[in-house]
Chains A and B, each alone.
Chain A
Amino acid sequence: MEKELQEVFQKAKYEIDSDLPLNIWQKMVKRNKRINRTRLWVFSSMGILSFGGALPVFKILLNDVAQSGFYEYLSLVFSSNSPALSYPKEFFFLIAESLPTTSIVLSLSLIFILFLSLKYLTREIIKNQLLLSY
């Protein structure tokens, strides 16, 4: 019965449209290209925006660092009878406290976003190149 039923099933198989496999492949490539193009736009925009934002944020950071007295504290490290050597722990905390935290966090976030978008952008460009060849 096993073999006979197998034959019956094979015999009654529906014939597929001969174009169906190619149509599926083409639709998949098209769909994937569209998704990749969208990603490309999103990551490029993110990259441009973060790069554009990085310039004023760096200016603010430099300004904040200059105003915080960080440079003055830092110069003490190189002076003779440096308090940095006598009281290293206290000096480290003093320097750390003088840092403009908000501007630093903001700048680092922007750098992170910039590199992240560059990474994904490169990946998408490579992917697109591969797909465009089909």
Chain B
Amino acid sequence: MSDNETDEEIITQYKNGNQEVFKELIDRYASSFYNFSARLANKDDAPDIVQEIFIKIWKNLGKFNSDKASFKTWVFTIARNTTTDFLRKKKNLLFSDIDRGSEEDTNSFEENIQDENLLPEEALQKLEDAQFFNQTLEKLHQNYREVLMLHYQEEMTFEEIGKILNKPLNTVKSQHHRAIIELRKILNQIAP
């Protein structure tokens, strides 16, 4: 099996009876899911969440339809739902909090989008310290954190993020914008 194979090719092989190729999918996505769940939940629970994510992918792989979404979008939808379910179970997250972002409509998007360069060079330099960056990220609301992580860490488009979060494109863009503003606020508060 080569690394050049696409996810879709691997799935085809899996569906043709070669179950061992699933290992390749685990190798590809384990780190991304670990980071995603560690940042949304916590590092200690992340391995269990990652395992749960892969079990769900395994169970539902037959239902994957490449016409509807890319494999990456599909698996991240599962990852996001699994992590949110985990947080709900642990009661660390109020239901109202989960939907807070969806209530933010798109009307403010047009006026907020003017300022593209919301994070000045100085702020970006501060974030280069990984520990400081992780602490700052933890202070962000979950909705903002997941948008930033999916966009900057997983390099997904806003459209793909919209599919994962089940939100309209403009809402995602608006959330991203607000997340950056929030990040700047936090940085200003923490900054010496």
- Which residues of A pack against B, CB within 8 Å? 1-2, 4-6, 8-14, 16-17, 20-21, 23-25, 27-28, 31-32, 130-131, 134
Query: Across the two chains, which residue of chain A brings its CB closest to B149?
Result: A9
0/1 interface trace, chain B 128-168, chain A, CB 8 Å (1 if under): 10100110010000000000110011010000000000000
**A27/B51 contact (C-beta < 8 A), A130-B19, A134-B19 known:** yes
Task: Report yes or no: A8 in contact with B133, Cβ–Cβ below 8 A.
Answer: yes
A5 and chain B: residue at smallest CB distance:
B152
Least CB distance from A27 to B in Å reads: 6
Given contacts A24-B54, A28-B58, contact A14 B26 (CB under 8 A): no
- Cα A2 to Cα B17 in complex, Å, equals 42
Cβ of B51 and Cβ of A8 under 8 Å apart? Answer: no
Q: Chain B interface mostly helix, strand, loop or mixed? A: helix
Inter-subunit contact B133/A131 (CB<8 Å):
no
Q: Is B65's CB within 8 Å of the partner chain A?
A: no
Please, how many angstroms separate the alpha-carbon atoms of A134 and B26 in the complex?
Answer: 15
In the assembled complex, the Cα of A5 lies from the Cα of B173 at a distance in Å of 16
Contacts of A14 in B (CB 8 A): 34-35, 38, 43, 46
Mask of B104-126 contacts with A, CB within 8 angstroms, 1/0:
00000000000011110000100
Interface string of B31-62 (1 = CB under 8 A from A): 10011001000010011001100110010000
* Contacts A/B (CB < 8 Å), 20 sampled: A1-B124, A5-B119, A5-B124, A5-B152, A6-B153, A8-B124, A8-B127, A11-B128, A12-B127, A12-B130, A12-B134, A13-B153, A14-B34, A20-B50, A21-B26, A24-B26, A24-B30, A24-B51, A28-B51, A28-B54
Which B residues lie within 8 Å of A24 (CB)? 26, 30, 50-51, 54
Any chain A CB within 8 A of the CB of B22? yes
**Minimum CB distance partner of A3 in chain B:** B152
Are A4 and B124 CB-contacts (below 8 A) given A9-B149, A10-B153? yes
Q: Which residues of A have CB within 8 Å of B133?
A: 8, 11-12
List, in ascending order, chain A residues with CB within 8 A of B23's CB.
Answer: 21, 25
> Which B residues touch A8, using CB under 8 A?
124, 127-128, 133, 152
A27–B47 Cα distance when bound, in Å, is 12
